[in-house]
Amino acid sequence: MSKIAIALCTYNGAKFLPAQLESFLLQTRLPDELIICDDGSGDETLEILREFAATAPFGVEIFANEKNLRSTKNFEKAISLCTGEIIFLSDQDDVWLPEKIDEIAAVFDKNKNAGMVFSDAEIVDENLQPTGRNLWSYTFPEEKRDAAKRGFFFDVLLSQNVVTGATMAFRAAYREKFIPIPDNIPNLIHDNWISLVIASEAEVEFLEKLLVKYRQHSSQQLGINFDERETRTFDERRKAYAAAIESGEQEIARLEKLSKIFAENPHFAKRRDAIDFAALIEKKHSQLTHLEARKNLPSARIGRVLPVFREILSGRYQRFSKGFLSAGKDLLEK
């Protein structure tokens, strides 16, 4: 049976940390070690961690950083300190369901070629109350899952990150391949980089199960923007398009950076010739053109007819929105 490690990163997490730590104790399969790297907390985080370590039924090591490393490099440090053969990543503000370690570890035991496993998560509010949403609805929609099942998981990862660190575990044997983790690539943090490197050389499995309560609150570093898929007024959607355009520009910068890394990094040799970065970047530019067109539609409905018709003829409504449904909305919505 593989030795299980959890790499937990903390920073001023006193409000929600106790619930996460408690969920480790309630696992049907306990971890063998918990490695914690605190990034300079100024609240009671370290006191909470030390009290937990004193009574935990598994080994707990706490490392207090002398200077703030920020999330990506702090996870790199925590991962590098783990001695387990399977490493689970953990944020400080979620709650794991009791079967999480057991079910994910069972996949590794069954498939010796699996380099990484990740699951879905239930999105909850800051009081752990259900929102009626699950993480994959936003990060790993059905069409992406279908592509992954057909053997195109690596291609899916290049188009967007579908793996959330709080839901993932991987074999420590791949650690030397993805460390150091770059922190200078736009729209890319540790979970996306780890996923890309492992997926370039090993099988990746995903469990369509809710194994984490993924807490949303105002002070978290990253979260889910529910408004992206909610009905909006015309003016509200304009603002959303502006934000999407900014994100898309960062995504193009990410792809440009990755194209250079792929050309130089030997770990991507197996995938290098199969990825057409120029085509991916061109597709993103075309998507931004579409978003710009929708953002710049005039308020007067009659003035929208010509630009909407042009977008229909270009095929971009069909490629990047919901076809005639989106075009109709743009024409008619106030």
Tens digit of each residue's pLDDT (9 = 90 or more) over 63-115 = 999 999 999 999 999 999 999 999 999 999 999 999 999 999 999 999 999 99
Percent of the chain with pLDDT over 90: 84
How confident is residue 122, by pLDDT bands cut at 50, 70 and 90?
A: very high
Query: What are residue 215's DSSP bridge partners?
Result: 124
Task: Identify the pLDDT of residue 222.
Answer: 54
DSSP character at residue 135: T
Q: Which residues contact 151 (CB under 8 A, 6 or more apart)?
A: none
pLDDT digits (tens, 9 = 90+) for 164-212: 999 999 999 999 999 999 999 998 999 999 999 999 999 999 999 999 9
Reference 51, options 63, 37, 35, 62; nearest CA is 62
Q: Which residues contact 324 (CB under 8 A, 6 or more apart)?
A: 312, 317
How confident is residue 227, by pLDDT bands cut at 50, 70 and 90?
A: very low
Task: Identify the pLDDT of residue 223.
Answer: 52
Superfamily of domain covering 4-215: Spore Coat Polysaccharide Biosynthesis Protein SpsA; Chain A (3.90.550.10)
Average pLDDT over residues 16-28: 98
- The pTM (predicted TM-score) of the whole model is 0.88
- Domain ranges in the chain? 4-215, 227-332
Angle CA 33–34–38, to nearest 5: 155
Average pLDDT over residues 219-229: 51
pLDDT at 266 over 70: yes
Distance CA 155, CA 275 (A): 8
Average pLDDT over residues 325-333: 91
Distance CA 104, CA 327 (A): 43
Residue recorded with tokens 């792809």: 255
Task: Identify the pLDDT of residue 218.
Answer: 73
Burial 281-293 (b: 16+ CB within 10 A, else e): bebbeebbebbeb
pLDDT at 235 over 90: no
Task: Identify the pLDDT of residue 292.
Answer: 97
Task: Identify the pLDDT of residue 75.
Answer: 98
Distance CA 89, CA 95 (A): 12
Distance CA 140, CA 123 (A): 14
Distance CA 186, CA 113 (A): 31
Distance CA 308, CA 329 (A): 10
Average pLDDT over residues 113-138: 97
pLDDT at 219 over 80: no
How confident is residue 159, by pLDDT bands cut at 50, 70 and 90?
A: confident
Distance CA 270, CA 184 (A): 24
Task: Identify the pLDDT of residue 160.
Answer: 86
* Phi and psi at residue 234, to the nearest 5°: -60, -45
Task: Identify the pLDDT of residue 267.
Answer: 77
Query: Mean pLDDT across the chain, nearest whole number?
Result: 93
